[in-house]
């Protein structure tokens, strides 16, 4: 059996909020990934999502405490993500290339939460789309 091929994905739809303004900081740039999150990483992603929901619903002081307590969970999540990202052409706000992320957790830790979520979604396996009956050409007249 052959190794899974690397998939290259345009990053045009990576949206983040900076200073209250939505922007696409990696438009025209790409990410190459190989592999998918395993079940352990999917559970970490779920736990982070749950924690983020609690942070949003909390008062400021409680939210800060929750964010501080999330570091170990976030570090485990980043450790699961770094081997999957083979390379990218991402740049910083000044247009300078970011260091390559493969097995380099420090690079991912410097990203915004929106960028991390975007990368996590790229690494999340999806169920195959079901082919609908009569899909394709020529269309059935019935």
Return per-residue pLDDT of the chain as tens, 142 residues: 667 788 899 999 999 887 788 999 999 999 999 888 788 777 777 777 777 777 667 776 776 666 666 677 788 888 889 999 999 999 998 999 999 999 999 999 888 878 888 898 888 876 556 544 544 434 334 4
Residue 53 resides in a domain: yes
Domain that holds residue 116: 8-122
The answer to whether 14 and 26 have CB atoms below 8 angstroms apart is: yes
The answer to whether 83 and 102 have CB atoms below 8 angstroms apart is: yes
Q: Token pair 């915004």 is at which residue?
A: 112
Predicted confidence at residue 41, as pLDDT, reads 79
Residue 1 resides in a domain: no
Residue 133 resides in a domain: no
Number of domains in the chain: 1
Predicted confidence at residue 128, as pLDDT, reads 59
């Amino acid at each position: 059996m052959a190794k899974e091929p690397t998939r290259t994905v345009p990053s045009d739809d990576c949206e983040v909020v900076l200073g209250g303004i939505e922007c696409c900081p990696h438009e025209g740039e790409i990410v190459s990934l190989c592999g998918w999150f395993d079940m352990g990483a999917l559970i970490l992603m779920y736990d982070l999502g749950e924690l983020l929901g609690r942070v949003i619903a909390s008062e400021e002081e409680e939210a800060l405490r929750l964010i501080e307590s999330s570091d170990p969970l976030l570090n485990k999540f980043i450790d699961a993500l770094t081997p999957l990202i083979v390379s990218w052409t991402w740049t910083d706000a000044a247009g300078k290339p970011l260091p390559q992320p493969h097995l380099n957790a420090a690079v991912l830790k410097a990203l915004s939460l929106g960028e991390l979520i975007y990368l996590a979604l790229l690494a999340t396996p999806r169920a195959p789309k079901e082919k609908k009956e009569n899909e394709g050409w020529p269309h059935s007249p019935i």
